[in-house]
Amino acid sequence: MSERHDRAVVTVAGVAVDTRHWIDGRRVASSATFPDASPMDGAPLAEIARGGAAEASAAVTAARAAFPGWAATGREERARILHAIADGVDKRTEELAAVETADNGALLRSHRRGVMPRVAHNFRFFADWLLTLGHEDFETRGHSNHVSWDPAGVCALITPWNAPLMLATWKVAPALAAGNTVVLKPAEWSPLTASLLADIAAEAGLPAGVLNVLQGYGEEAGAALVSDPRVARISFTGSVPTARHIAGAAAANLVPVSLELGGKSPLLVFADADLDLAVELAVEQYDNAGQVCLAGTRLLVESSVAEEFTRRFVEKAATLRQGDPRDEATGIGPNIHPDHVARIDGFVQRALACGARAVIGGGPNTELGGFYYLPTLLTDVAPDAEIVTEEVFGPVLTLQTFDTEEEALTLANGTRFGLAATLLTGDQERADRVTRQLVAGTVWVNCFFVRDLQAPFGGSRQSGIGREGGTWSFDFYCDVKNTVTAPKGFAHHG
């Protein structure tokens, strides 16, 4: 899978990747490294620079030094450079897709056709939004009010392993567009494409120090980064326990945070829904081997159609081919890491021990090895069972039934999460009633995963804090200022 060039550079899927940090426009090594392996087969990919407090401090120092110059750069020039980064992503789509598939195991065809184009779009969208960002001036008793968005400073961005480059650039692009400088800390299980992004940004003309990439473990590099008092903003996508540590560090320095923390989203199917569509969207929840924060993992189906829904679901799920994510015919690939597979299986085995029934799946795919978990559907689960209240983050769905709209809402809102919800019904009035009562940051009605960057994105309850997207991103990454000017009082000179 990988081949050593020297101590710093490896070849992954035919692409040269530097394994060092990117700090102040140059590559920086660490005295220690950590291993990175492919979830496709467990083969070693690289030894990655293992950053700690010293490297985190150096990255923040570089970002802080670069901030005045980048903040003073005009909107048009910042937008031009972001478009140039997007052009670089487009030129390297095949390389980025191949490396990310090797590194995190997601389907190669998805990376080629959807994920990497979205990476480029992230930069283009926020570059263009920057040029239109504004608020109409207004008057107060004859005084004029002018709203502006001032860059905040150094942004610490900590990103997950399930969609590494797309979710990193969802944060990096608006932070840079706003005039901030960035220290990006990618997840240690999928660090490679962040390194390639640093190369692309440098080639696009982004000044040294504006984007820094800090590799390492969360408890070492990440902890040092978020506790640095020079950091002005922290954005994190990941687990609730990690978010608690980050929020504590941020609180000590009164630093604003944006937290996107996964979920346990419901997918509600009423008897008047299009069952073919409902089944199609339900099986789609196995996308990326279930490693999608927005996935509707709790199937809530009206009792009168539950048997028919289940029959069609089993037939549809049986057409999913599990295997090598580089194969065009593969529908579901591996999970990220053996430790994560063991975690997934722990949830399932505890559920089975408590009386749940596996309609399909129920364990690892022993034919494919330790990284592959069978698409699983569990029934006969209690409303308060661990399997329906805790995020599994794997190809594991549960099916519960309901008889009334009120019961459906009680089940749907019955967890500590509130990231997303999917509703299938043929009744517009019901759709309106139910969506008003669902606790979720995003609700899809008779569709799934339709995402627009101008829409607000974030979670309710323990699915997160804050919203990003469109102007909401600039509200977070900036200090929003209102300037009030009196109608008279300026001295005339000259």
Question: What are the residue ranges spanned by the domains of the chain?
Answer: 2-261+459-481, 266-445
Element (H, E) at 352: helix 338-353
The residues pairing with 268 across neighbouring beta strands, listed in sequence order, are: 300, 423
> Could you tell me the two tokens for 376?
């699983």
Task: Summarize pLDDT for 158-193 with one digit per residue, the tens.
Answer: 999 999 999 999 999 999 999 999 999 999 999 999
Is 237 in contact with 215 (CB distance < 8 Å)? no
Q: Pick the catalytic residue from 100, 188, 220, 293.
A: 293
Instruction: Say how many Å lie between the first and final Cα of the chain, rounded.
Output: 72
Inform me whether the pLDDT recorded for 7 exceeds 80. Answer: no
Q: Pick the catalytic residue from 260, 302, 391, 468.
A: 260
CATH level 3 topology of 266-445: Aldehyde Dehydrogenase; Chain A, domain 2 (3.40.309)
Beta-carbon contacts of residue 411 (< 8 Å; ≥ 6 apart)? 266, 298, 300, 383, 400, 402
Report the percentage of the chain scoring pLDDT > 70: 98
- What is the DSSP secondary structure assignment for residue 218, as one 8-state letter? I
Cα gap 174→151, rounded to integer Å = 11
pLDDT of residue 56: 98
Inform me whether the pLDDT recorded for 16 exceeds 80. Answer: yes
- What is the DSSP secondary structure assignment for residue 345, as one 8-state letter? H
- Annotation says 293 is catalytic: yes
pLDDT of residue 97: 98
pTM > 0.85: yes or no: yes
pLDDT of residue 124: 98
Task: Summarize pLDDT for 397-438 with one digit per residue, the tens.
Answer: 999 999 999 999 999 999 999 999 999 999 999 999 999 999
Element (H, E) at 302: strand 298-302
Element (H, E) at 236: strand 231-237
Inform me whether the pLDDT recorded for 1 exceeds 60. Answer: no
Q: What does the mean pLDDT of the chain come to? A: 95
Which DSSP string corresponds to 57-118? Answer: HHHHHHHHHHHHHHHHS-HHHHHHHHHHHHHHHHHTHHHHHHHHHHHH---HHHIIIIIHHH
CA angle 160, 91, 20 (to 5 degrees): 45
CATH level 3 topology of 2-261+459-481: Aldehyde Dehydrogenase; Chain A, domain 1 (3.40.605)
- Annotation says 136 is catalytic: no
Reported confidence tier of residue 494, pLDDT bands at 50, 70, 90: low
